[in-house]
């Protein structure tokens, strides 16, 4: 299996991403003293960075890997919304964003010193979309959905991926399209009839209301998710343990983590669903796509913040591999 060649096949492949978009703000600096006003450190900011997050980070990963992402979501009609559109343009993301006067752009501000996060401040709205906003969302999705064979639903619980939207989308999508969903626990009961879901261990446990402590629990949870939500396949990310890939008719496979160092797991799930979906769009099977995604996630956790991975980074690592370790856990 030539994984570097498989990764290069993703160049030019198209993916539609629908979901909750946010702006990540990093204020980096140094701590030299404690505040006289309260027993807290004073961070002297020396650098400020803005990055696109949520569904936007999924689109960023697709674009950096050479894919062609189209992104649909909602943001405020404010300065931060303008920042999002500028970043998308710079990344080469075809952004079809709804600009709303009724809600602010989701902004997550991280105060950092010496590579350590000191504080996070969130500005966001997770209320349901207003009727007019929801109608505009459907118009944008309706105009694009027939143009793609692979579609990502990126649910961060901010209002785009709702029970109402999922019911409409299940009727609107074309037969045979591969829909891959990154879930949020609050919406778990509404997910159904999808090609694949990519929950982490916590989301799988909370979504199915069962504890997960080891291999047998992961297998049982995965079987329940596939049966209960009518999925064709499933990928459960396991953090430091890698990921489990569920392929009915073929088996359950464990891919051990490829991370050599871990600084920040922020955005690793976005990288996984981006690479899995881009692989599927390029004609790769799910297991091969998951192996590539496992490698990509192992690279991004070595960076601080939600960052993407380039085609050069991925193929450079894959080119040094002589073997790919994966284990069949069970039949399915």
Contact between 59 and 17 under an 8 Å Cβ cutoff? The reply is yes
Q: What is the largest CA-CA distance in the chain?
A: 65
Give the contacts of 97 (CB within 8 A, at least 6 positions apart).
21, 71, 72, 73, 74, 75, 81, 84, 85, 88
Short-list 62, 69, 1, CA closest to 287 = 1
| C-alpha to C-alpha distance for 232 and 178, rounded to whole angstroms | 9
| C-alpha to C-alpha distance for 184 and 21, rounded to whole angstroms | 14
**Residue 270: active-site member:** yes
Short-list 17, 9, 4, 11, CA closest to 284 = 9
Contact between 254 and 329 under an 8 Å Cβ cutoff? The reply is yes
Q: Which residues of 93-120 are buried (b: 16+ CB within 10 A; e: fewer)?
A: bbbbbbebeebbbbbbebbbbeeeeeee
- Which residue among 94, 264, 270, 331 is the active-site one? 270
| C-alpha to C-alpha distance for 15 and 70, rounded to whole angstroms | 6
| 248 secondary structure, DSSP code | T
Give the contacts of 260 (CB within 8 A, at least 6 positions apart).
298, 302
Contact between 292 and 275 under an 8 Å Cβ cutoff? The reply is yes
| C-alpha to C-alpha distance for 275 and 287, rounded to whole angstroms | 12
**C-alpha distance across the termini of the chain, in Å:** 24
Residues annotated catalytic, as ranges: 270
């Amino acid at each position: 299996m030539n994984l570097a060649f498989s990764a290069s096949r993703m160049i030019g492949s198209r993916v539609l991403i629908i979901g909750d978009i946010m702006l990540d703000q990093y204020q980096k600096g140094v701590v030299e003293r404690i505040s006289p006003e309260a027993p807290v450190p004073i961070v002297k900011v020396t650098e400020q960075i803005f990055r696109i997050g949520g569904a936007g980070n999924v689109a960023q990963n697709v674009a950096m890997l050479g894919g062609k992402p189209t992104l649909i979501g909602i943001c405020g009609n404010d300065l931060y919304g303008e920042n999002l559109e500028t970043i998308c343009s710079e990344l080469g993301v075809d952004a079809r964003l709804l600009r709303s006067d009724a809600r602010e752009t989701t902004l997550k501000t991280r105060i950092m010193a010496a590579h350590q996060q000191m504080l996070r401040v969130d500005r966001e709205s997770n209320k349901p979309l207003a009727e007019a906003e929801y109608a505009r969302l459907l118009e944008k999705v309706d105009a694009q959905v027939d143009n793609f064979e692979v579609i990502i639903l990126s649910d961060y619980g901010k209002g785009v991926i709702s029970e109402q939207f999922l019911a409409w989308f299940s009727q609107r999508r074309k037969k045979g399209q591969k829909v891959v969903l990154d879930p949020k626990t609050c919406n778990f009961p509404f997910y159904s009839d999808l090609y694949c879901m990519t929950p982490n261990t916590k989301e799988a446990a909370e979504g199915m209301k069962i504890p997960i402590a080891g291999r047998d629990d992961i297998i049982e949870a995965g079987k329940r998710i596939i049966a209960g939500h009518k999925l064709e396949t499933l990928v459960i990310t396991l953090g430091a343990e890698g990921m489990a890939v569920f392929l009915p008719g073929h088996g359950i496979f464990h891919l051990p983590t490829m991370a050599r160092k871990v600084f920040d797991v922020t955005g690793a799930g976005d990288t996984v669903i981006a690479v899995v979906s881009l692989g599927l769009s390029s004609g790769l099977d799910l297991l091969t796509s998951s192996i590539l995604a496992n490698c990509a996630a192992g690279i991004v956790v070595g960076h601080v913040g939600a960052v993407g991975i380039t085609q050069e980074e991925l193929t450079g690592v894959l080119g040094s591999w002589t073997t790919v370790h994966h284990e069949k856990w069970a039949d399915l």
